[in-house]
Structure 1
Amino acid sequence: MLQILGQTEGNLIATRATENLTEADYDKLLPLLNNIVEKYKKIRWYFEMEGFEGWTPKAFWKDLKFDVQHANDFEKVAMIGDKKWEKWMTDLMKPFTSAEVKFFDLEEKEIAKKWIKQ
């Protein structure tokens, strides 16, 4: 499930992912991301993962298509989580985007919130 957090404003989108992300989550999320790109040209994304297990196949496909089409539309991405595979996923993203991408542990949420706004 994907929750849009209250810090979302301007070109910053803040989300919390729990359990599995579904196609319905992306049907809600992608219009917001497209609006940010259209209006501000660059996205700053605070992506918090708590109890996150991954994506359903259709959700993963939607995510992958958006990421490939908009690889250069991200300015900064803060990935916040507590699992080794989440940190690994963050490192894997770096060569495929021009964005500054950084991983933070869940205990560093406040630091991540400040970093994404700088």
Structure 2
Amino acid sequence: MSHKIQGITIGIERVNADIFIKLTATGTLTHDDYQTITPILESALAGIKQANVKILLDATELDGWELRAAWDDFKLGLKHGNEFGKIAIVGDQHWQQKMAKLADWFISGEIKYFDSKESAMKWLF
């Protein structure tokens, strides 16, 4: 019997005055994934007054979103977009690079696409 892993893994740390969030997205994200992750992210972002949140999104294992999950992601970005200083998206697909450019229109912080975690981390810090 084989198991297909899918969903979002989250890590939250403080680095000096910054909040660093590492997200790893795997498989095809669903509305249920966002129902689980949204309260965790909102709790981590509660009380932030300035754009000092840095995010590393590892999308190398991401296949995409269900339609409702894509809407959940869009709403989350609109609600908290002013709190993000930098977002680094690491991927290996052309559509992921396009996703990063599209997200840049809705998020006030800087968003860049990378093909390696090392270069993404250098840019974030």
Decide: shared fold, TM above 0.5.
yes
What amino acid sits opposite 2:48 in the alignment?
A: Y
**CA distance in 2 between partners of 1:70 and 1:3 (Å):** 19
Matches within 5 A, 1:12-23: 12-23=20-31
CA RMSD of aligned residues (A): 1.7
User: Which deviates more from structure 2 when the two are superposed, residues 38-47 or residues 12-21?
Assistant: 38-47
Instruction: For 1:71-82, list aligned pairs within 5 A.
Output: 71-82=81-92
CA distance in 1, matches of 2:123, 2:40: 22
Instruction: Give the percent of matched residue pairs that are identical in Structure 1 and Structure 2.
Output: 35
Is the aligned partner of 1:57 residue 2:72? no
Determine if contact 2:48/2:83 at 8 Å carries over to the other structure: no
Q: Give 1 or 2: higher helix fraction.
A: 1
TM-score (norm 2): 0.79
Which consecutive unaligned segments of at least 5 residues does structure 1 have?
A: none
Mapped partners of 1:57, 1:70: distance in 2: 20
Q: Is the 8 A contact 2:24 2:58 kept in 1?
A: yes
Residue 95 of structure 1 is matched in structure 2 by 105
The TM-score normalised by the length of structure 1 is 0.83
Q: Quick one: which of 2, 5, 18 aligns to 2:8?
A: 2
CA distances 1:69-91 after superposition (whole Å, capped 9, x unpaired): 22212111000000011001111
Shift of 1:24: 2.3
